[in-house]
């Protein structure tokens, strides 16, 4: 599959999708709003940015371990249809589920403009959609796509979504989780842009919203708080609070899945480089010898989970080793000094001491 074949570039198709998005989301906006950085970013992301990222990054990543060609795919939280339309270029049938009517209007317009007749969208929420799935896209399915969706759900919704998604897969089918922030890293880069925000209990997080550098986020949250405390709580969840391995262990006890990809493949690494906070999490897990799969050690979770199939060969193990090595600036400075002076054997000896001290 050549990803470049499906990339959406400047031309009449993209122009039509952009105009449809503007007509639906910005019908009465003034010039100043339309020319603002936030507005331009939103329009670009929802018309071609996410679509092209799915085509050039996410789909090649999936194809490494699972063939999407001809697959029957359920996408939960399909938004404006970006990732669903990208996948429909190669899949056999795609059903997108989205609760917001405006997003569905864009998604349906997008696929009509692109001439994609193997994808359709329903207005529903997860996990409610699973109650009527037999009538819409009869399981078992080849794949369920959960891209940037789990972090926007309440805990009960999230647990049920994971459980029901798993249940509707055929043996050998996959559950694909992409672009979900890991709340076990220090920086909330997804919603508040505040350090430690996802570690706060809900009531304190709501009171700390005003510290966020994202003024649009603060404004939205303040408007909800003025309405009611419950409205603010609901909005905080819907804006996204991160997920972790605990969600999966509660929803899928015993870890019945095989992990085919864990986000350390070239495509996710290019999209989301490894951060300092991520290294700290890896180091903590390694130091304490915790049984946490590598897929849950990234700051942005990218994972492909396969339902075991007795007729299929077992996947090769993902051999990821993270060092629990930690060192002070003085330790590192001493090693660097030995290297500069050409005393490489002494530098290696000092490094070995550090490794033993932190083993």
Q: How confident is the model at residue 319 (pLDDT cuts 50, 70, 90)?
A: confident
Prediction pTM value: 0.87
Cα 60 to Cα 53, 65, 87, 174, 282, distances in angstroms: 10, 9, 11, 15, 26
Cα 323 to chain centroid, rounded:
25
- Rounded Cα distance between 110 and 15, Å, is 11
- Rounded Cα distance between 174 and 143, Å, is 5
- Which structure tokens are listed for 104? 């569905």
Judged against a pLDDT cut of 90, whether residue 306 lies above it is answered with: yes
- Above pLDDT 70, what percent of the chain? 96
Mean pLDDT confidence for 102-131: 93
**114-123, 222-231, 336-345 — which is least confidently predicted?**
336-345
Which of residues 1 and 114 earns the better pLDDT score?
Answer: 114
DSSP bridge partners of 141: 169
- φ, ψ of residue 293 to 5 degrees: the values are -55, 150
- Rounded Cα distance between 167 and 161, Å, is 10
pLDDT at 325: 61
- Rounded Cα distance between 214 and 212, Å, is 5
The pLDDT tens digits for 11-53 are 999 999 999 999 999 999 888 889 888 899 999 999 999 999 9
pLDDT at 91: 97
- Rounded Cα distance between 174 and 135, Å, is 21
Structural domains of the chain ordered from first start: 3-187+241-306 (3.40.50.150), 191-239 (no CATH), 325-359 (no CATH)
**83-87, 133-137, 297-301 — which is least confidently predicted?**
133-137
Judged against a pLDDT cut of 60, whether residue 358 lies above it is answered with: no
The pLDDT tens digits for 182-223 are 999 999 999 999 999 999 999 999 999 999 999 989 999 999
Mean pLDDT confidence for 162-181: 96
Judged against a pLDDT cut of 70, whether residue 359 lies above it is answered with: no
Residues with Cβ < 8 Å from 42, sequence gap 6 or more?
A: 25
pLDDT at 125: 84
pLDDT at 335: 86
Which of residues 201 and 351 earns the better pLDDT score?
Answer: 201
Judged against a pLDDT cut of 90, whether residue 355 lies above it is answered with: no
pLDDT at 356: 67
Judged against a pLDDT cut of 70, whether residue 351 lies above it is answered with: yes
Task: Assess contact for 274 and 189: CB atoms under 8 A.
Answer: no
Start-to-end C-alpha separation, the chain: 45
């Amino acid at each position: 599959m050549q990803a470049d074949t499906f990339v959406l570039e400047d031309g009449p198709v993209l122009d039509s999708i952009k105009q449809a998005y503007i007509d639906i989301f910005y019908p009465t906006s003034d010039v100043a709003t339309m020319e603002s950085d936030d507005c331009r970013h939103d329009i670009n992301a929802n018309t071609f940015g996410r679509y092209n990222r799915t085509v050039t990054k996410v789909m090649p990543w999936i194809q490494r371990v699972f063939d999407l060609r001809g697959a029957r795919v359920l996408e939960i939280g399909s938004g404006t249809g970006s990732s669903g339309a990208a996948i429909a270029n190669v899949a056999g049938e795609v059903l997108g589920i989205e609760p917001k009517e405006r997003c569905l209007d864009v998604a349906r317009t997008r696929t009509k403009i692109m001439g994609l007749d193997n994808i359709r969208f329903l207005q529903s929420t997860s996990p409610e959609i699973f109650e009527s799935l037999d009538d819409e896209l009869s399981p078992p399915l080849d794949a369920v796509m959960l891209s940037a969706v789990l972090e926007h759900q309440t805990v009960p919704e999230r647990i049920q979504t994971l459980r029901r998604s798993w249940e509707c897969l055929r043996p050998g089918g996959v559950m694909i989780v992409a672009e979900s922030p890991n709340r076990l890293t220090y920086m909330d880069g997804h919603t508040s842009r505040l350090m430690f925000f996802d570690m706060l209990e809900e009531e304190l997080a709501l009171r700390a919203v005003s510290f966020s550098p994202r003024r649009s986020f603060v404004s939205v949250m303040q408007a909800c708080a003025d309405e009611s405390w419950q409205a603010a709580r609901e909005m905080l969840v819907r804006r996204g609070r991160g997920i972790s391995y605990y969600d999966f262990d509660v929803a899928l006890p015993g870890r019945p899945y095989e992990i085919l990809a864990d986000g350390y493949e070239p495509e996710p690494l290019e999209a989301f480089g490894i951060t300092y906070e991520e290294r700290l999490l890896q180091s903590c897990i390694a130091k304490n010898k915790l049984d946490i799969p590598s897929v849950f050690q990234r700051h942005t979770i990218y994972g492909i989970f396969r339902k075991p199939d007795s007729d299929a060969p077992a996947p090769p193990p993902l051999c990821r080793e993270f060092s629990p090595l930690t060192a002070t600036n003085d330790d590192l400075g001493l090693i660097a000094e030995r290297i500069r002076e050409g005393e490489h054997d002494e530098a290696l000896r000092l490094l070995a001491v550090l490794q033993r001290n932190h083993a």
